[in-house]
Structure 1
Amino acid sequence: MLQVRNVTRLFGQKAAVDNVSFDVAKSGFVGIIGRSGAGKSTFLRLMNRLTDATSGEISFEDQNVLALQGADKRAWQSQCAMIFQQFNLVPRMDVASNVLHGILNRRSTVSTMFNFWPDDDVLKALAILDRLGIAEQATKRAEALSGGQQQRVAIARALMQDPKVILADEPIASLDPMNAQIVMDSLRRIHDEDGRMVIANLHTLDTARRYCDRVIGMRDGRIVFDGTPDQLTTGVARDIYGADASFSESATSTSIDALPSDADADYARRMLV
């Protein structure tokens, strides 16, 4: 289904993504972990075509997405939805309109300018919001919502595209533990119920163990681990995180979802990034 072959992205002489290769044979929930600067976000941006690769090939269903241009590239971006750490919503726009903007590239400029949407699209947006437990927020401005609610709106916007692949770039890094769990539960349920491939950059080992079918560890732009969640031992963590992984096994197994305060969550993130 997905084949990544020798993908490299250079910024000057620095390789942000360095000769990365892996296959995903069927739709799954894949987590990518690693410290800051490991290349996780750059790889997702390459896959979504927000950034161009220096070399290599990413094929999905036998189509090399790195070679797509123009309308074909935009069609791929519609099929490969992106969820960002900071939500990327329009703050002063109502929630329903933010969700409808997931299909912005399918609408005419005039329709978009006057915020005109067919009834079928509006009903679909409301149904997606209801599925994520926030239908009652549809008429509120996005900026009035909590961080966790805004991230669920961002997920709804992605689902509005009806994508085959959802890329989530550190979707819970800025959330409190309770909302982090809600967001991760939502992504896992979408994968289980819809059969959509989900690839998520994650901060903590425990989150990867809990939600992912497969975990890829990156360090300095390269893949240093590719296996199942139960293979994420303390030794593997040291390979992925280097000196920053010299903490105890209890630290690696503490989810930010279970921590009692925002301060503790920030501490955990510093330890596990």
Structure 2
Amino acid sequence: MLRIAQLTKKFGRNTAVDAASIQVEKPAMIGIIGRSGAGKSTLLRMLNRLEDATSGSITFEDREITGLGGAEKRAWQADCAMIFQQFNLVPRMDVVSNVLHGTLNRRSTVSTLFNLYPNEDIHRAIDILDRLGIAEHAPKRAEALSGGQQQRVAIARALMQDPKIILADEPIASLDPMNAQVVMEALRRIHEEDGRMVIANLHTLDTARRYCDRVIGMRAGRIVFDGTPEQLTTDMAREIYGADASFSEEATSTEIGALDRSAKAAAVPA
């Protein structure tokens, strides 16, 4: 279904992604983990064609992606929706209009200029917001919502594209644990209920283990782990993050239970 072969991206003398190869046979929820600077975001940006690869190839359903241009490239970006850490919403625009921006790739210049949307699209946008538990916020400005709610608006905008793949670049990095859980559960439901492939860059191991079918670990631009959550041992995590024996998973956890345990441990007198 998706084949990435020897994909490489260089910025001058620096290699951000180094000969990455991944093969996905059917829709799955995949987590990519690794330290900052490991190449996770660059890999997703090449998949979405926001960045051009230096070498290598991306093939999806027998279509070669890396060489697409013009209308074909835009069509691919509609099929491969992107969700960002910072939401990328229009703050002063109402929520439903932000969601409707997911249809821009198939609208005429005139309708875009005058912000004209078919009733069918408006109803669909509200249905998607309802599915994500935020339909009551549809008339509000995006800036009036919490971070977790804004990220769900960004997910709704991606769903308006009716994509085959959703790429999420650190979707919970700026969220508190409760909102992080809500967002990850939403992405998991989208994968399970819609049969869409979801690939998410994540910064905590417990999140990858809990929500993903497959975990890919990157270090210095290279893929150093590709396996199931059960295969992601603490020793392997140390290898991915380049950490020593003092590496603690709970110290980087976003899971509420783990945070509670850490707080209780800190409160116990030495």
C-alpha change, 1:153 and 1:258, in structure 2 (3 Å) is: farther
2:244 and 2:67 mapped to 1: Cα distance? Answer: 37
Q: Which residue is equivalent to 2:267?
A: none
Q: How far is 1:249 from its partner?
A: 5.1
AA partner of residue 47 (structure 1): L
User: Per-residue CA shift, 1:196-219, capped at 9, x if unaligned?
Assistant: 000000010000000000000000
User: Scaled by the length of structure 1, what TM-score is found?
Assistant: 0.92
Q: How far is 1:118 from its partner?
A: 0.3
Alignment of 1:85-96 (within 5 A): 85-96=85-96
User: Per-residue CA shift, 1:153-191, capped at 9, x if unaligned?
Assistant: 000000000000000000000000000000000000000
1:244 and 1:74 mapped to 2: Cα distance? Answer: 44
Listed as ranges, the gaps of 5+ residues in structure 1 are 265-273
User: Per-residue CA shift, 1:78-133, capped at 9, x if unaligned?
Assistant: 00000000000000000000000001121112212221100000000000000000
- 1:176–1:257 CA contact under 8 A, matched in 2: no
C-alpha change, 1:83 and 1:244, in structure 2 (3 Å) is: farther
AA partner of residue 254 (structure 2): S
Q: Which residue is equivalent to 2:53?
A: 53
| Identity, % of aligned positions | 74
Runs of 4 or more above 3 Å deviation:
248-252, 254-261
Q: Which residue is equivalent to 2:195?
A: 195
2:255 and 2:74 mapped to 1: Cα distance? Answer: 35
Q: Which residue is equivalent to 1:221?
A: 221
Aligned length: 261
Alignment of 1:82-231 (within 5 A): 82-231=82-231
1:151 and 1:259 mapped to 2: Cα distance? Answer: 23
* SS of residue matched to 1:67: coil
1:246 and 1:23 mapped to 2: Cα distance? Answer: 34
AA partner of residue 95 (structure 2): V
User: Per-residue CA shift, 1:141-160, capped at 9, x if unaligned?
Assistant: 00000000000000000000
AA partner of residue 207 (structure 1): T
Q: Which residue is equivalent to 2:254?
A: 255
- 1:100–1:121 CA contact under 8 A, matched in 2: yes
C-alpha change, 1:133 and 1:110, in structure 2 (3 Å) is: same
Question: Pairwise CA RMSD of aligned residues?
Answer: 1.5
